[in-house]
A and B are shown apart, each in its own frame.
Chain A
Amino acid sequence: AQKVTQAQTEISVVEKEDVTLDCVYETRDTTYYLFWYKQPPSGELVFLIRRNSFDEQNEISGRYSWNFQKSTSSFNFTITASQVVDSAVYFCALSEARNNNDMRFGAGTRLTVKP
C-alpha cells in the first residue's frame, strides 16, 4: 500500500534562513505522482507542485525547490530565504496509477518562520 512519511512534525526558523522539508514515500507501483501542498492558517490547501515517477529532474520555482530521488524514495522541498508568509503546514502526497486519483497524504510539517 502507498505510504507517505513526513518525519518532521514541526520546524521553526528565523526569517531568511533556508529550510528543507523531508518527504519519504513507499509504493509498489512504477507509475505514480508526488505532490506538495501548502495549508496556511486560513485552512485552504494550495497546490505547489506535481512530479511523476519518470521525471527525476529537480525543479526550482522562485524561492522553492524540490529534490526528487527515486533511489532513496524521497521528494524533499526546500524554501530558500524563508519569509514569515511561508508559515504554514506543508503536506507531501502520493498517487499511484493503479489506484487512480487515490491521493495519500503525509502527516504534514508545520513550518513557523519567525521575523
Chain B
Amino acid sequence: SAVISQKPSRDICQRGTSLTIQCQVDSQVTMMFWYRQQPGQSLTLIATANQGSEATYESGFVIDKFPISRPNLTFSTLTVSNMSPEDSSIYLCSVGPRAGLGEQYFGPGTRLTVT
C-alpha cells in the first residue's frame, strides 16, 4: 500500500478565508480522491482527481468552492474557498488501484475548524 501524507494536519481558519490542503504519495498513482468527513459523520466523496485532466466533482460539490490541482502522479491539492463554519470537517485524500476496482488507502486527514 502507498504511504500518504497530508499537510496541514489541522488548522483553525477564519470565516471567508481559504485553505489549501496538500496530499503527497510516496509512489505514482493514477487515481486520487478527496473526501469530507463532517463531525460524527461518514465520509462523502468530494471529487476524483486524475493527473492530466480536470477533477470530477460529485453532486453538491463545485469547483469554485473546492478547486483541485493534480500536477503529477504523486501530488494533489484541495482548496476550501471562502470558508464558513459549515466547512469544519476532516478532509481526507485517498489513492486507488492502478486499474479497476479495489481498496483505497487514505491519508491521515486534515482537521479543519472554521470560526
Contacts and interface: CB of A to CB of B under 8 A. Distances in A.
B109 A107 contact: no
Interface residues of B, number: 25
Nearest to B41: A107
B73 interface: no
A91 B40 CA distance: 12
B111 A101 contact: no
Contacts of A7: none
B29 to A, nearest CB: 11
Interface stretch (B13-21, B63-71, B95-103): B95-103
Interface in A1-41: 31-33, 35, 37
Among A45, A47, A102, A106, the one with the most B-chain Cβ atoms within 10 Å of its Cβ is: A45
Interface of A: 31-33, 35, 37, 42-45, 47, 50, 52, 91, 95, 97, 100-108
Interface of B: 1, 31, 33, 41-45, 48, 90, 92, 94, 96-97, 100-109, 111
- Closest 3 pairs (CB-CB, A-B): A45-B106, A101-B96, A105-B43
